[in-house]
A and B are shown apart, each in its own frame.
Chain A
Amino acid sequence: MNRDESIVSDLSCWATMVVFIVGLVVLAVNLKEVQIDAAPDYNYEKARQSVRRVQTAGPRGRILDRRGRVLADNRRCVSIVCNAAHFKKKTWDETTRAIIDEIDEIGEILGRSTRLTERSIRRHVNQALAIPLVAWRDVTDEELAKFSERDRLYPGFSVVESEERYYPFGSLAAHLIGYVGHDRSSGNAGDEKFNFSEMELYGRSGLELYYNGFLRGVPGEKKLLVDARGFTVKEWLVAEAARGPDLNLAIDADIQRVVEDQLKGVRGACVVMDPRDGSVLAFASSPSYDLNDFVPSLPHEVYNMYLNDPAKPLLNRASGGAYAPGSTFKPITALAGLAMGYPADEQYDCSGEFTLGTLKLHCARRWGHGPISVRTALKVSCNTFFCNLGCDIGTNAVISAARTFGLGSKTGIDFTDDRAGLVPDDAWKRATYGERWYPGDLAQMSIGQGMLLVSPLQMAVVAGAIGTGYLVTPHIKAGEVSVRRPLPYKKRHLDVVREGMRLVVAGGSGERGGEGVDVPVCGKTGTAEYGSASRRKKNTWFIAYAPAEKPRAAVALIVEDGESGGATAAPRVAQILKRIFNAR
């Protein structure tokens, strides 16, 4: 048989075979492109759609006082959470419904309904399906026991442990320590490379806020494998979260407690500092509040109560308050005068009042002190003397002395509130009141009145600086290195003021400031008047340092609306100094 006569030629058969081979090779080449060349891209795509990265929260570091006593701690917090993967239903509505139904049932068993609303559950299902939904946070042992009895009926719910902030001393140093909150709601990743973040405690005020980055737990990472609908299929740990470091404070809880006892029942503040290195030993503002009320978050009623309280408990008066320093400013005026060459023995005659044009300023002693020198003027807190002195040396000298002591600017403390206060001058007055600076303003400022504003923290720094001759930057964290700047005053000038301040306690206006203290105390009272003429009120101050020769403690204490510095503030400071210096 002749091949050419065949109905189907050999060529056709061979051609068919070639088509098959070419076809298969084309597929192989394309598959190589997809599976070899583009494999990394597709693997990335796959990971992007099926892997969720979760940032896990580590426990926060503790806050300790200088002797290692725990001021802010963590405690175990048990939560009951819902895992949506157990509620796979045809529609999202059915899933949400099923979750709500079981949450309601468990709520009855626990005797406590969840704080979740239907809307928040729906939102969780829509946005954060892959991670557990916290239904009950911080359940009690009793509630946990009730749930454990029936937990087999609810496989979609599990018990997880986390840590919650706890303040063993309650209200102690509340303004200083501050409080935390759950700043990020779970589900919203703060860091962009994560899909979800576990709920993390976040400092909201005080040291918890200032040192938030330090205290914060080292976050870990978890990866979730999710299916096409977003339910978690599997999870694995990438990096374990770790506890944040402990924060050691210079604060001494014992001194802090005495300070707070002295402020009990009054509005006021007190700062105790070691003037040698700036360590803050106590830092109190009164009235205070219990920090544990803020865990996990402050109830609205309590918050409103605090907010509407005329005593303003939420206000941190110690470093955030601004008061006229009153007579506690007089040592600064004295130093300014001495530095300008005013002799220490030169006297002014005090007639009981200081007149300058229409301005009349009364002295503490209505009938006058008679001829008086600077030491005695400090001792008895003679207004006339310092008004005269101030007017003699001039505005610039007084302002520059105030600024030399750091008034009018932040202290540089490692804390959230660091109020600069105010040292007024001509430019400021023109800008604020549209008036020029009058000699009367100078006279007022020389005795710490007028527009001058300081914080108790600043005054503690001032007291310490007079005692040591060095202006330090206060610090709360232990071991911080402070900046120490020597005061630009001669030692003999400083000694005059120190002697004057010693006299204040030794028979002067602040006699009770050294009562019962085993070491010699130097101090200065202050009674700053404020308010309208008809309803004069007095903020009463006492600043001190001790021992007189080599000061180891500097104190500034203010009581709002007290009687006088000598009667109200000084005795409280004496109690504090006794706790520090007297052997027990």
Chain B
Amino acid sequence: MPGRFRYFNWTMFVAMIALIATGTMAIWSSGNARAESVFHDMWIANLVTAIFGLAAYFALAFADYRKLLSWAAVPSYAAALVMLTVVLLVGSKVYGGRRWLWFFQPSEISKLCIICLLAKLFGGEPRRTFGWFVAGCALIALPVGLILLEPDLGTALTLIPATLLMLFVARVWRRGLLTLLAIGSIAVFAVLGAVYEAEKPGVTAQRSETILKWVPLKAHQVRRVRVFLFPEEDITGAGYNLRQAKISIGSGGFSGKGIGKGESNHLKYLPQAISMNDFIFCVYAEETGFIGTLLLLAMFGALLIPGAWTAVVAADGCGRLLAIGVSTLVFAHVWINIAMSIGLVPITGLPLPFISSGRTFLVTVMSGLGLIQSVSMHGRENKNELVRMA
């Protein structure tokens, strides 16, 4: 269908290629600082993965998402549940989490599967009843619960806003969603308040313990919240990562230290285990400065805004939901990752799309963008008819 190529969204595509290039550079730079040679070639691995990602991207882009959803949404969701269960049983343990199955992380792929299922279920016809609300929540909760068991809080944190937003824009019993949102906000503030009360200066250990008993967080999570609330304290212990992240980003200044010359990374002040993954933004920000970070935000903007625009111009509910779901997922990753690096939100382990080194995640994000491209290319039929009719 050569006519379809008319609606290929070049902005989104070019932004994606630019982000892949930027990410490869950042991975090269951050890997070079490591002593182990295996990290020196990580950028090549990233490029190779990107080629696979591009294959998936074009395959999904040129397929009609409606046909795809109709036959693949349910089986892929089921497969995701199976993989998430299997990984809990036999997955390999890395940094305290059971996330890996052979060479990939099921939790990453399952994000797309959930979004596809929700798009299929709620995009076709209005399902605004309480029953569908419960069903939707259950379908989200099942995989999210399994992911939280790994545990992978970061993935869960990005998946929840993306999927709930899908339900919300599909008008699935909005009263319930708003209530959920309210309860969630109150819970977040309650937890923050409790940790503040327990950890503020001058509180006795006993009182602190009594308060924390009621907080449904693990010890390391309480520590992260405490660092978020009191970033100046304990800068050699729990607050070390955040402080070093901010020093790295801040010392980049306006124009940066130059690519490959980031001192925080080379001198190993940034935690080495995550400087290539969750904290890669700090490496990038120090080397390219404010110009570089602004450019990066612009690239994400050039990716996400057309993503939302695709929803605007898509004719059917499935296409709109798919575009909104995938772009919101990417946006959540971008926003939380950068925000945690500068202390706007507590530190959470999650990758920055395209920039962090992570193969499953890269292929997942590119596949998702392929789906949006498919919506852009195939989703305008009804609208064209409308225009023709008018």
Binding site for B on A (CB under 8 A): 1, 6-10, 12-14, 16-17, 19-21, 23-24, 27-28, 30-32, 34-36, 38-39, 41-43, 45-46, 49-50, 225-229, 233
Contacts and interface: CB of A to CB of B under 8 A. Distances in A.
B368 interface: no
Contacts of B301: 20-21, 24
A23 B331 contact: yes
A7 B249 contact: no
B251 interface: yes
Given A20-B305, A23-B331, A34-B342, A46 B312 contact: no
A20 B327 contact: yes
B184 interface: no
B169 A8 contact: yes
Contacts of A1: 315, 382, 386
B267 A50 contact: yes
Interface in B42-75: none
A35 B250 contact: yes
B175 interface: no
A145 B227 CA distance: 57
B123 interface: yes
Given A24-B300, A32-B290, A35-B249, A16 B311 contact: yes
B324 A30 contact: no
Nearest to B383: A1
A32 to B, nearest CB: 6
A8 B335 contact: no
Given A31-B249, A42-B246, A16 B327 contact: yes
Interface string B120-141: 0011111000000000000000
B28 to A, nearest CB: 20
B293 A16 contact: no
A414 B176 CA distance: 93
A170 B382 CA distance: 107
Contact of A50 (B269, B307, B334, B335): B269
A36 B308 contact: no
A225 B266 CA distance: 11
Given A17-B312, A228-B267, A41 B250 contact: yes
Contacts of A16: 165, 169, 308, 311, 324, 327-328
B267 A226 contact: yes
Residue of A13, A31, A35 most packed against chain B (CB within 10 A): A35
Contacts of A38: 250
A34 B250 contact: yes
A226 B268 CA distance: 10
B183 interface: no
Nearest to B285: A35
Interface string B345-372: 0000000000000000000000000000
Interface in B88-110: none
Contacts of A226: 267
20 contacts: A1-B315, A6-B317, A7-B123, A7-B320, A8-B170, A8-B317, A8-B324, A10-B312, A20-B301, A24-B301, A24-B335, A31-B297, A34-B342, A35-B249, A35-B252, A35-B285, A35-B293, A42-B251, A227-B267, A228-B268
A49 B264 CA distance: 10
Interface string B168-179: 111100000000
B380 to A, nearest CB: 12
B294 A31 contact: yes
Contacts of A225: 263, 267
A227 B307 CA distance: 43
A45 B305 CA distance: 37
Nearest to A6: B317
A16 B326 CA distance: 12
B320 to A, nearest CB: 4
Interface string B310-350: 01100111001101100110010011001100101000000
B115 to A, nearest CB: 14
B231 interface: no
A6 B125 CA distance: 9
Given A35-B293, A38-B250, A229-B268, 19 more contacts: A1-B315, A1-B386, A7-B125, A8-B321, A16-B328, A17-B308, A20-B331, A24-B300, A27-B297, A28-B293, A31-B290, A34-B246, A35-B290, A36-B254, A39-B251, A39-B253, A42-B246, A42-B251, A50-B263
Given A17-B312, A35-B249, A42-B247, A7 B126 contact: yes
B267 A39 contact: no
Nearest to A88: B35
Contacts of A19: 331
A30 B305 contact: no
Contacts of B252: 35, 39
A7 B169 CA distance: 8
B304 interface: yes
B39 to A, nearest CB: 16
B293 A46 contact: no
B239 interface: no
B189 interface: no
Interface centre among B247, B305, B311 (most CB of A within 10 A): B247
Contacts of B339: 27, 30
A397 B292 CA distance: 91
Given A31-B285, A34-B249, A14 B290 contact: no
A225 B267 CA distance: 9
B10 interface: no
Nearest to B319: A8
B250 A30 contact: no
A12 B294 contact: no
B345 to A, nearest CB: 11
Nearest to B256: A35
A430 to B, nearest CB: 64
B5 interface: no
A1 to B, nearest CB: 6
Nearest to B250: A42
A13 to B, nearest CB: 4
Contacts of B168: 12
B250 A39 contact: yes
A434 B21 CA distance: 97
A221 to B, nearest CB: 20
Contacts of B312: 10, 13-14, 17
A9 B171 CA distance: 9
B289 interface: yes
